[in-house]
Amino acid sequence: MQAVRNAQPLHESTQWETSALDLDAYLARIDYRGPLAPSLETLTALQQAHLAAVPFENLEIVTGGEIRIDLESLQDKLVRRRRGGYCHEQNTLFATVLDRLGFEVAGRNARMLMGEDASVVTPLGHTLLVVKVAGHDWMVDVGVGNVGPREPIRLEADREVSHGPWEYRLERSPLGYWLLRHKRLGEWFNIYQFSDEPCYRADSGEYNYLASRHPGSPFVRRIVAQHNGAEIRLALTDLELKIFRPGQAPELQRIEADALPDVLRQRFGLALTPEQERALLQRAETLVETTSEGEQLGT
């Protein structure tokens, strides 16, 4: 989805909904006061600020609501109501912000692996971004939960980078895709793979529908909240909270069902309405004996 930069603009369906963006409200939401020029420095700082402020979560689905990715819905939920979201929401909003600031930003769609071998063909379904800045293409993703990169990664095969204590590698997979990997306890963990084919808002809309409604989707079947922190990362799946620290095995905490709203407020900054809390607790009561083991959510 290339930002329009020519005398004959493409149809609006190929563009981000930039004109309707409340940029000041978004910058206040992520508590960002840094530079806004379309530079690599700005891109990196915005990505880190967004990840610090906006958690990854699916609570609208599990409390009976609907996920929409038109800009007005995204601004209402992620900005005004200070909620989080998953990839289709977060990266669509972030792309719109970047486009407003003058970055050349395009969508991509990835095949999630989350530990699977890179020769395995998984379905398309994850929205990410490619941003052209400083003369190069950079992979940017604010919507892949606790496992994702915290800074742009230059699209270049066999490139290894450190984002603070977290290590990533971008290479070519056996299928010829870009392959994003994350080092865990000395081993490379496959996150996802993607091609250079553009992904448009219409594509993300279809994938969002499946993610939020298909009975096999983990976002339909599970309660999910994650946070991609600079030093500590969190992953809540149903009534299990995993705490990730660099170079250490994750710490697992089991949560009582009635404590879930407090955990969401205190650990993820997520405040639900009383009606949503009641729906969440009803859902949680059915999950007392479940485990997140083997779930493909980056945990």
CB 227 within 8 A of CB 233: yes
141 is catalytic: yes
Furthest CA-CA distance within the chain: 60
Residue located via tokens 């007392």: 288
Kindly provide the b/e burial profile for residues 55-90, where b requires at least 16 CB atoms within 10 angstroms of the residue's own CB.
Answer: bbbbbbbbbeeebbbebebbbebbbeeebbbbbbbb
Q: Which of these is catalytic: 50, 88, 99, 126?
A: 126
Lookup: tokens for 261: 């709203």
* CA distances from residue 134 to 25, 40, 41, 131 in whole angstroms, order as listed: 27, 7, 10, 10
Lookup: tokens for 114: 């989350």
199 is catalytic: no
Q: Where are the alpha helices (DSSP H) in the chain?
A: 23-29, 40-53, 59-62, 71-74, 87-100, 201-213, 218-221, 260-268, 274-285
88 is catalytic: no
Closest CA to 177 of 201, 160, 162, 155: 155
Tally the C-alpha atoms within 13 A of residue 34's C-alpha that lie toward its C-beta: 17
Q: Which of these is catalytic: 87, 88, 203, 238?
A: 87
Lookup: tokens for 18: 């930039």
User: Would strands 136-140 and 124-133 be described as parallel, antiparallel, or unpaired?
Assistant: antiparallel
E strand residue ranges, 173-230: 178-184, 187-194, 224-228
Closest CA to 228 of 243, 218, 248, 208: 243
Q: Which of these is catalytic: 50, 88, 141, 203?
A: 141
Whole-angstrom Cα distance, residue 194 to residue 248?
29
Which sequence positions are flagged as catalytic?
87, 126, 141
